[in-house]
Structure 1
């Protein structure tokens, strides 16, 4: 009997010990410092706007790379413009922070008694930051050097890159607008947003029942404006529409513009960025007093090997260009960078070569390139795919790069009202913990929204996060912003 009692006691003790062991294991698991954040994110994702949505979410510790939250982490989703984080990283690594683009002016002629007998060759090497004032400066210098008349032609040379102008993801509906501008090695931008290959079309009310007043910036003759608009009385709806007719150089302006309204302004992609640049350059020459013989014309061509360099204009270094590129999510910059990387590494300024460089870079930092698929560098294509696990791994990996601080300066800052600080996040997360503490690249296409970057918690700890969503019925932006806000508001302290 005593033996039986001792056995029972031993069994009870053993069960208690096993129970305590199990309890101890659970206690360790429950003590994860990120558990409150994990629970909060799970609750946010029950939002009805996520129903039926394809999504992928990963949050990592920025110091260790440890994944502290994952939801469909390996699901491939269209990244939209968050793909630009790979483009920027590959460009900084491949081209270097101090890389500059250039635009050069050559001639194959000589000057006699104020007349240049020969052609002027405007040769582009990808610079997206060329402005009308740069051409004015070229013209002023030529005039001061004694060129008062041109007895030749103005030739635009864009052969630094290949002749393919549009990436595969550009739809017919998008081609009219600046965000889908054609990619050329010879560029002109209308202002310091540097939307290369586009012209600003400004339509304002004129006299009642008359067409709107139209201004082009810069003025150019390579587009044909067809003004079908009408100025209407105050109180009428502003129905102005400005677009370039598909496949042509015609800019159609239609609809009503009320008296007293601001009208409408659009950045319209031109049908030939190379001719656009040389057309405006010719205007700059004329405005600075340089005359032309009647046979002078503008044309596209190749700079002869024996031509001599007259003038050159360089862009800002890449470490500065990443600001308008990333803050404003400039698609043209992304595609130019891709072609420039291809030119630098493989001697070919093409998308195929440039995208290969991006793939090479991703592989070099340990990313699984089998989980990346992209056919452009801007994120415009719906065919682009990546997982949040891979995107967040990229953001973790670049923290060890010597140019990481430059990379950070390019990311939009949540709630920062200055355009070149807040960028595409300046009107988001404008209050609460996220303001100023979320640095991230946005991404938006039809039924696609994403956000990928860094968030500083209440403990001062940096976390890497990526939220990718597509195929939603209702916009997921509010959900994405709640996730970012919750990360910034989190703390490991009890």
Structure 2
């Protein structure tokens, strides 16, 4: 009898140690079964390729893999790689600088020489920042410049577009030119672009009313719009002439419409920044007698004012939440400049690749052509993205990285970002922190999800060769909902 009791105690002890281990296995098998069934049966995936990698966030263990080693186009999931590398190389407290310098002497409120504006990559410069620069010159007693206003953008090379940027994206804000000296219209910091707001006229038949932010004559707008009846169509088209800053707006706008905002990339952002600075000088009562031109700052020029940008950790929010391509490409060039002394895509991507290897990424499986993911030549396996998301959790800057990711279903723009209108059901809203990605025929999403069981899982879902990217997003949302129920 005693022996039976001992055996019973041993059996109970054994089951107590085994059952907690077998329960997740059953759940894991169920997860695998659900994901396999969904991926094999969804008609919108027929003819497409789905790369999926799911890991345990605690130990990095692969829980699920579906073509996870296949190289696929990442779209803006490339920004996960760029952000991690930039945080590692530059640091979360890194700031961009812009310098105002003078050459020559100041006599009787007149600068006898040139005024220089030297850009060092800051994508956050607003019109109000140029106002501050002009105000500082005014404090020095300068009322006239007997010389030129020279923009120095030599911090980076003079290649303005990444290697594979489509021509059709040239006028868009997300395809704007990259320069070490540039400007943004708003604090979304879409550098190298101007925002145009179109509102209906007072009466039917009137042209629409147009305003630009910032207010500038750097762009010329040809208004071919018509205000139509309240039940008419709202259809506007914007076209910027190649190699010029002439923007033609055509179409119709109902008289009761709230209007529309559009961001257009400018041609030559260095001169755009200079035009805004010249405007600020005039508004501060400083006369410029010379010309606006590009050039290199002389060694003996004197710095009279230095503007610093927000910290990289703060810039990461509009960069990642709103998927800002310009920020990504600027960070690539900045990494190249800081590490190798050359602010180019070539050197920046070399630095980025070397840094990614430190996170356990097999860089031999990657094809990196830019920092934003706009290229259709970029190739990244889903398993490498999930590996990155595991590794960065150990970095001191991880809180800033995680904070920058869009949060599912949260309506505030700088919280929900590109996920603010997605995944609003109870099991996923506020529980998914992930970077989205979209280019033609491609939809991707990678990040972290807090599951029903209280675990955090890491996922990377890459859908390529889609007929409809919108349907791809619905597929992603369904897959994440299944993962969240784990």
TM interval, shorter chain, is over 0.9
Match runs of 1:401-412 below 5 Å: 401-412=395-406
**Whole-angstrom CA distance in 2 between matches of 1:71 and 1:300:** 52
Whether 1:467 aligns to 2:458 is no
Unpaired segments of 5 or more residues in structure 1? 1-23
Whether 1:479 aligns to 2:439 is no
Moved more, 162-171 or 36-45: 36-45
Whether 1:157 aligns to 2:157 is no
**Whole-angstrom CA distance in 2 between matches of 1:63 and 1:192:** 36
Tell me by how many angstroms 1:256 deviates: 1.7
Equivalent residue of 1:193, what SS?
Answer: coil
Give 1:190's match in structure 2, choosing from 185, 189, 192: 185
Match of 2:242 in 1: 246
Whether 1:262 aligns to 2:248 is no
Match runs of 1:95-174 below 5 Å: 95-174=90-169
**Whole-angstrom CA distance in 1 between matches of 2:108 and 2:22:** 89
Match runs of 1:301-316 below 5 Å: 301-316=295-310
Equivalent residue of 2:188, what SS?
Answer: coil
Tell me by how many angstroms 1:259 deviates: 1.7
Whether 1:419 aligns to 2:408 is no
Whether 1:336 aligns to 2:330 is yes
Match of 1:351 in 2: 345
Residue 44 of structure 1 contacts residue 479 of structure 1 at CA under 8 Å; is this kept in 2?
A: no
Tell me by how many angstroms 1:443 deviates: 0.3
Match of 1:20 in 2: none
**Whole-angstrom CA distance in 2 between matches of 1:229 and 1:299:** 34
Whether 1:366 aligns to 2:360 is yes
Provide, for residues 425-480 of structure 1, a one-character-per-residue CA deviation record: whole Å limited to 9, x for no partner: 11111122111111000001111000001111122211110000011123211110
Equivalent residue of 2:71, what SS?
Answer: coil
Residue 76 of structure 1 contacts residue 386 of structure 1 at CA under 8 Å; is this kept in 2?
A: yes
Moved more, 188-197 or 249-258: 249-258
Match of 1:50 in 2: 45
Match of 2:220 in 1: 224
Match runs of 1:445-460 below 5 Å: 445-460=439-454
**Whole-angstrom CA distance in 2 between matches of 1:70 and 1:432:** 26
Match of 1:397 in 2: 391
Match of 1:13 in 2: none
Unpaired segments of 5 or more residues in structure 2? 1-17
TM-score, length-scaled by structure 2: 0.92
Match of 1:179 in 2: 174
Match of 1:12 in 2: none
Equivalent residue of 1:140, what SS?
Answer: helix
Match of 1:388 in 2: 382
User: How many positions carry a matched residue from both structures?
Assistant: 463
**Whole-angstrom CA distance in 2 between matches of 1:89 and 1:183:** 21
**Whole-angstrom CA distance in 2 between matches of 1:208 and 1:306:** 60
Larger radius of gyration: 1
Match of 1:291 in 2: 287
Match of 1:18 in 2: none
**Whole-angstrom CA distance in 2 between matches of 1:32 and 1:205:** 60
Moved more, 57-66 or 213-222: 213-222
